[in-house]
Amino acid sequence: MVPSIRVLTVTSDLKGVVCRMLRAAVDADRDTVLVWRNHPEVRRVSLSTHVIGAEEHARWWTAATTDPARHVLIFCDDGVPAGVVLFDLRRDPAVWSFYLDVAGLGAALLPAWMRLEREAVAYAFGELGLDRLGGEALASNRQVLALHRRFGFRELRRYERLVDGTPQTVVWTERGRQ
């Protein structure tokens, strides 16, 4: 199990699971994460935009949560699960991604997004002990690219990638421990 780095004393509705700023995902989170991922606004900026079915998600969930080189974390905002952060240590540099509960956060989305990025970067360079961290974003997702820049990520390259059969420009951003 992945240790949490921020302690809050709020208990979520997940049968006694303490919801910290970042905590290891548990099986009770699986269906909630699928709902977040399938939100139209999340799909619109994802590298795979189709609606993910329950079976496909269950296969991914099992593979991701049982692989010691992959970390699936739940981001909590005010003690409530509000997003997911994924770290994949199988590549060099490690790769990260995230998405939030767009519907549940509403007007609080931007402040939560900033807290999530701050906590995830701290986790990557603290708990995981990484020296570098990178990620992909669609070039059209200007908001996430701007946020990444704010947190020290630099654009290193752009390349074309098929996203559900359509060529899209993808931006690789990366930062080191600072």
The pLDDT mean for the chain works out to: 90
Strand 166-176 vs strand 154-163: parallel, antiparallel, or unpaired?
antiparallel
Q: pLDDT tens digit string along 96-105?
A: 999 999 999 9
pLDDT at 4: 38
Q: Which residue has the higher pLDDT, 9 or 78?
A: 78
Under 8 Å between Cβ of 80 and 32: no
* Cα–Cα distance for residue pair 10/61, rounded to 1 Å: 25
The proportion of the chain whose per-residue pLDDT surpasses 90, expressed as a percent, equals 85
Q: Average pLDDT, stretch 35-48?
A: 95
Domains of the chain as residue ranges with CATH: 22-131 (3.40.630.30)
* Helix segments in 52-92, DSSP class H: 54-66
Q: pLDDT tens digit string along 61-89?
A: 999 999 999 999 999 998 899 999 999 99
pLDDT at 6: 34
CA dihedral (117, 122, 123, 128) positive or negative: positive
Q: What DSSP character marks residue 67?
A: -
Residue 28 predicted with pLDDT over 70: yes
pTM of the predicted protein model:
0.87
Token look-up 């989305």 returns: 109
Residue 17 predicted with pLDDT over 80: no
Nearest of 89, 83, 58 to residue 71 by alpha carbon:
89
